[in-house]
Structure 1
């Protein structure tokens, strides 16, 4: 076996490669958890939009009271869900990009240990830092989206209060 091949084999079998690749692996796992929970949020938006569709169909069929108020409410809530879905999609795109960059960083570490030099050791670090920026951007987008979710919930509660009060008032008048 040539000396160069022996050095490469020793470098690849070294624990240095595995220990260097652990940090990106932890970040990949963190991105995976965020992707899972963010995709679930998107699914909940889809479910809410479907329930609004059913309510709209009930309004069109004239089966629900307070049609004008309900139409206005549904229009506002559907617009908020559209914004939330767009934000969550952007967050997911950033999370997938971060995951890809962390995988690339992990592979870059392995290749640098095996074939690189001190002059190229900055490359995997730069890739990981870029992945960290995408992870941060995703978290910032999700934080912003959570404010829209809170506004959605508050508007929903306000409308429930309105329906409850209107129903009580109508029963008093009867």
Structure 2
């Protein structure tokens, strides 16, 4: 049934609309914070891949010792970085989707308060719940990525220990030859 002009103005000027829209706004803010930090992770990943490219160039130019070991190590690290990139990209996609759904739920709340009734009140809730599922999926992906990053860090530490030990042995061997 069509609303009369006065009813329309009363519906739109209701403070219930704004107060109802606050919860999705908080979730939108949470998604924004996660998007910001996840984008930073992706940037650091890009920087690390660029530094590994420089390492490969240095190895191929003969600037480093243990050529084969270094190349094998870098190949393994590049594979790990590729997987991390995929995980972060999927998390970002889920975060953007969650943000869009929370915005949609906020708008659906406003429309429902202004024009809807009890029979349509489930729509904003369903949209917000779907947004919550995407936020959960993004969080799970980021948790897995952070644990996966630990394997990268541990292998990096192990390789540094390998270099230190073998450089020390190489130095001792050269001293014995003299």
Per the normalisation by structure 1, the TM-score is: 0.97
Report the counterpart of residue 32 of structure 2 in structure 1: 32
Per the normalisation by structure 2, the TM-score is: 0.95
1:3 Cα deviation from its structure 2 partner: 6.7
Alignment of 1:159-174 (within 5 A): 159-174=159-174
Distance 1:112 1:58, change over 3 A: same
Deviation string, structure 1 residues 105-152 (Cα, Å, up to 9, x no partner): 000000111111110010000000000000000000001111110000
**Tell me, what secondary structure is at the counterpart of 2:21?**
helix
- Greater Cα offset, 79-88 or 163-172: 163-172
Alignment of 1:134-173 (within 5 A): 134-173=134-173
Ranges in structure 1 where 5+ consecutive residues have no aligned partner: none
Ranges in structure 2 where 5+ consecutive residues have no aligned partner: none
Alignment of 1:14-163 (within 5 A): 14-163=14-163
Count how many residue pairs are aligned between Structure 1 and Structure 2: 173
1:4 Cα deviation from its structure 2 partner: 2.2
- Greater Cα offset, 140-149 or 3-12: 3-12
Task: Say what the alpha-carbon RMSD is for the aligned residues.
Answer: 1.1
